[in-house]
Amino acid sequence: MSENYKVPTMAEMAGKGETPEVLFWVGCAGSFDERYKAVTQAFVKILNKVGVSFAVLGPEEACTGDPARRAGNEFLFQMQAVANIQVMNGYEVKKVVTACPHCFNTIKNEYPALGGNYEVIHHSQFLQQLINEGKVTLKGGGEFKGKKITFHDSCYLGRANNVYEAPREVIKALDVELVEMKRCKTKGLCCGAGGAQMFKEPEPGKKDINVERTEEALATGATTIAVGCPFCLTMMTDGVKNKEREADVKVYDLAEMIAKDMGI
Amino acid sequence: MSFLPQLAFVLILGVAGYILSKRIKFLRRNIFLGKAETRNDHTDDRWKTMALVAFGQQKMFKRIIPALLHLLIYVGFVVINLEVLEFILDGILGTHRLFAPFLGGVYTAAMNMFEFLAVAVLFSCVVFLTRRYVTKVERFQKPEMKGWPALDATLILVIEIILMIAVLTMNATDQILAERGADHYLALGPLFFSGLIRPLFEGMSLEALHFIERFAWWFHIVGILAFAVYVTYSKHLHIFLAFPNTWYSNLKPKGEMVNMPEVTNEVNMMLGIPTEAASNPSAEIGRFGAKDINDLSWINVMNAYSCTECGRCTSECPANLTGKKLSPRKIMMDVRDRAEEVGKSIDAGGPGLEDGKSLLGDYITKEELNACTSCNACVEACPVNIDPLSIILQMRRYVAMEESGTPAQWNAMFQNMETSFSPWKFSPSDRFNWAEKVKEEEM
């Protein structure tokens, strides 16, 4: 009777002569990271439920090049970027949504200089739109109801692109108590993974940045730490483990929280 | 005989003007050791940014207490300098309180306002010294603040305090002299703040009062001129450079890294994409990234000269907070110090940039560069819109592309990206495997 979830690729749709409204850019973490795949799956389920016309690039997607560029390797970044732009322009992509703020920043701000011009939005903004338009109706009675939740700003969403309210609006729609950390929004403290730090050990110091940030999140008394970035998710999850609080404190992406509330 | 003070004054003014103009040329030349960059777009937004951030001190108010104290000094500086105009004219013309007869009661009111501001400046400077030496605010205790930077900050505060005491002393003695009917002295209406210290001088002879009044007058005006020269050797340059620095702010999203068109040309050629530049190769491709100050943009170097070492950047830097070597403030100080070194060398007929040293290595280490998370906290924190991240990322480009000196783990990441199109070592054919599970689930 009921149908299965669908994950159409751009190639399949092009084969049928169709063009989706929006390309869901999954990103490397969304494709390969064991934990973050759940976020990709949750977001795809939401898109299916709402009936958004979307497609993914599937095996045709490649890293945006963000970590290579931040680590100084401009050649490698541009090789990745130009190849991705060729693929996207080939499919005449107009609009891109992604759950990764690094992909978001790169495609939105850095691809235009290389010939890739798209309307790019982060999944927090997309979810906010769906909620505002009434396409996603939240029951607010799920596992988050009345609970204390704190939101950790991702640098590449917040300071880098001035998106502070969309993720908060999404969380508030869940009928929860949103508690802010002392360093939030423009003053938000990095999780420690940006600028290609995700891919190497930290430089010598007296503490790991994710532990510092996790301590601040725990100090709010929140039992859920909400994030909107795959790297932040990893760093905060590791931080919670480091503080041995994984039994009572969970780290979730916004899409997972919405999907849970929708019962999918 | 009576022309002697006027002559001396004009001479001092001339010497100060000459030194200042030399210093300004030196600083200007140093700033333009940086590469040319045009940033004149969106002029409306630029004027607005300058009005809000520099003139309006908008970003200072992220920290309310230092913001209020700083505001008092800032307003005091701007307003009291109106009085300096009268000082200069009096000095040249040999007059005394030139404007008083024309302005009457308004003059007394203005003097009272100046005195209030002088006391406010004095108060703020004392609190700022307390923050540095008694409560020891952490960001002033960092390693890069040892030595000259700490002395520089202290000198500025002490000089300002002494200059304000000179103004109040001058007004107090001046009014006693006027009341006793001494020649040339004009009785104004009551002056509140200098009135408070009048008892200190009431018992003195006319000669002593006259000496103190003249001494305070000369001390104040010569002090201001000397201070203006001092500023050009000091972190205090922000009082002028904050304005152009904010005008030339980066107005693009902070996350955007500047493209390197010279790389784009090569990438397009490698991928067989026709480009305009491919058929007409540019005469000379310089270095990739930044090794020294001449590889940076002149705006980066102006940023460095605009830095007043307040350390708000460093106090918000996640790397610095967790004990890493990186301090965004030190990055700015290093760029400035290197520009000074090169500038002095050139002026002395020395090797300048070719002195065997460079910004990378001799001033900034790879360890510092490698600690940055590119989170933009420093950029956001800076009250005058300095961008340390831009410099860090340009230097990382040099390390990666000219030295192949990136950490081994980054090299492995590069390799993964080249072969598997992902920073992790996964097969590209597995990229879409995540969808299998969802596709099996019923909606």
**Do B243 and B273 share a domain, yes or no?**
no
B266, B322, B393 member nearest A208 (Cβ): B322
* CA-based end-to-end distance of chain A: 17
**Do B130 and B27 share a domain, yes or no?**
yes
Give me the pLDDT at residue B271, please.
Answer: 82
Q: Best of A78, A84, A183 to disrupt the B interface by mutation (most B CBs within 10 Å)?
A: A78
Residue A246 phi, psi dihedral angles, 5° rounding: -65, -20
> How many structural domains does chain B have?
2
B401–A203 CB contact, under 8 Å? no
How far is the C-alpha of B151 from the C-alpha of B393, rounded, in Å?
31
Query: Residues of B with CB below 8 A from A65's CB?
Result: 417
Interface membership of B269 toward A (CB under 8 Å)? no
Q: Provide the chain A residues 43-62 that lie in CB contact (below 8 A) with chain B.
A: 44-45, 48-49, 56, 58-59, 61-62
Torsion angle of C-alpha atoms B314, B315, B320, B323, degrees rounded to 10? 140
Please give the distance of CA B15 from its chain centroid, rounded to a whole number: 25
B377–A65 CB contact, under 8 Å? no
Percent of chain A with pLDDT over 90: 94
Could you tell me if residue B97 is inside a domain?
yes
Averages of pLDDT over runs of 10 residues in chain B (443 residues) are: 84 96 98 96 97 96 96 93 89 91 92 96 98 96 96 97 95 94 89 95 94 94 94 97 98 97 89 66 74 98 98 98 98 98 97 97 98 98 98 98 97 97 96 96 91
Confidence of residue A227 (pLDDT cuts 50, 70, 90): very high
A30, A82, A162 member nearest B267 (Cβ): A82
Query: Residues of B with CB below 8 A from A100's CB?
Result: none
- CA-nearest residue to A264 within chain B is B443
Could you tell me if residue B305 is inside a domain?
yes
List pLDDT tens digits, range B185-223: 989 999 999 999 999 999 999 999 999 999 999 999 999
Give me the pLDDT at residue A1, please.
Answer: 53
Question: Is 3.40.50.1860 the CATH classification of the domain at A10-128?
Answer: yes
Say if residue A13 is exposed, middle or buried (CB neighbours under 10 Å; 0-12, 13-18, 19+): middle
Give me the pLDDT at residue B111, please.
Answer: 94
A190–B375 CB contact, under 8 Å? yes
Residue A249, min C-alpha distance to chain B (Å): 23
A9, A189, A199 member nearest B410 (Cβ): A199
- CA-nearest residue to B413 within chain A is A199
Q: Is there a contact between B260 and B288 (Cβ–Cβ < 8 Å)?
A: yes
**Do B215 and B342 share a domain, yes or no?**
no
A155–B376 CB contact, under 8 Å? yes
Could you tell me if residue B227 is inside a domain?
yes
Q: Provide the chain B residues 380-439 that lie in CB contact (below 8 A) with chain A.
A: 380, 393, 396-401, 406-407, 409-410, 412-414, 417-418, 421-424, 426, 428-435, 437-439
Q: Provide the chain B residues 64-83 that lie in CB contact (below 8 A) with chain A.
A: none
* C-alpha dist (Å) from residue B42 to A99, B35, B255, B288, B297: 31, 21, 19, 28, 19
The CATH classification number of A137-261 equals: 3.40.50
Residue A252 corresponds to which tokens in the numbers above? 């979730």
Side chain identity, residue A210: N
Query: Residues of B with CB below 8 A from A63's CB?
Result: 417, 421-423
List pLDDT tens digits, range A92-110: 999 999 999 999 999 999 9
**Do B169 and B311 share a domain, yes or no?**
no
Planar angle of CA B83, B89, B95, nearest 5 degrees: 105
**Do B321 and B225 share a domain, yes or no?**
no
B322, B380, B414 member nearest A73 (Cβ): B414
B397, B431, B438 member nearest A58 (Cβ): B431
How far is the C-alpha of B127 from the C-alpha of B67, rounded, in Å?
12
B367, B424, B438 member nearest A44 (Cβ): B438
**Do B73 and B122 share a domain, yes or no?**
yes
Q: Provide the chain B residues 315-374 that lie in CB contact (below 8 A) with chain A.
A: 316, 318-319, 321-326, 367, 370-374
Q: Domain limits at B177? A: 4-31+63-247
Residue written as tokens 């070194």?
B341
**Do B143 and B239 share a domain, yes or no?**
yes
B264, B325, B374 member nearest A194 (Cβ): B374
CB count, 10 Å around CB of A131? 19
**Do B356 and B409 share a domain, yes or no?**
yes
DSSP B35: B
Query: Residues of B with CB below 8 A from A200's CB?
Result: 370, 407, 409-410, 413
Residue B157 phi, psi dihedral angles, 5° rounding: -65, -40
List pLDDT tens digits, range A49-94: 999 999 999 999 999 999 999 999 999 999 999 999 999 999 999 9
B267, B270, B372 member nearest A195 (Cβ): B372
- Specify the CATH number for the domain of residue B356: 1.10.1060
* A103 contacts: CB under 8 Å, gap ≥ 6: A25, A27, A64, A66
Please give the distance of CA A194 from its chain centroid, rounded to a whole number: 14
DSSP 3-state of B442:
strand
A71–B260 CB contact, under 8 Å? no
B264, B421, B433 member nearest A63 (Cβ): B421
Give me the pLDDT at residue B145, please.
Answer: 97
Give me the pLDDT at residue B277, please.
Answer: 55
Q: Provide the chain B residues 284-313 that lie in CB contact (below 8 A) with chain A.
A: 288-289
List pLDDT tens digits, range A178-187: 999 999 999 9
**According to CATH, where is 3.40.50.1860 located in chain A?**
10-128
**Do B218 and B72 share a domain, yes or no?**
yes
Residue B197, min C-alpha distance to chain A (Å): 45
**Do B294 and B153 share a domain, yes or no?**
no
B318–A190 CB contact, under 8 Å? yes
Q: Is there a contact between B20 and B232 (Cβ–Cβ < 8 Å)?
A: yes
Give me the pLDDT at residue B1, please.
Answer: 45
A72–B401 CB contact, under 8 Å? yes
* CA-based end-to-end distance of chain B: 102
**Do B235 and B290 share a domain, yes or no?**
no
Interface membership of B257 toward A (CB under 8 Å)? yes
Could you tell me if residue B308 is inside a domain?
yes
**Do B12 and B157 share a domain, yes or no?**
yes
Give me the DSSP letters along A13-79: HHHTT---SEEEE-HHHHHH-HHHHHHHHHHHHHHHHHT--EEB-GGG----SHHHHHTT-HHHHHH
B62, B255, B264 member nearest A161 (Cβ): B255
CB count, 10 Å around CB of B115? 22
Q: Best of B324, B373, B437 to disrupt the A interface by mutation (most A CBs within 10 Å)?
A: B373
Q: Provide the chain A residues 219-258 that lie in CB contact (below 8 A) with chain B.
A: none
Residue A204 corresponds to which tokens in the numbers above? 């010598």
Interface membership of A116 toward B (CB under 8 Å)? no
- Edge-first strand order for the sheet with A119-122 is A54-55, A22-25, A95-98, A119-122
Residue B114, min C-alpha distance to chain A (Å): 37
Could you tell me if residue B397 is inside a domain?
yes
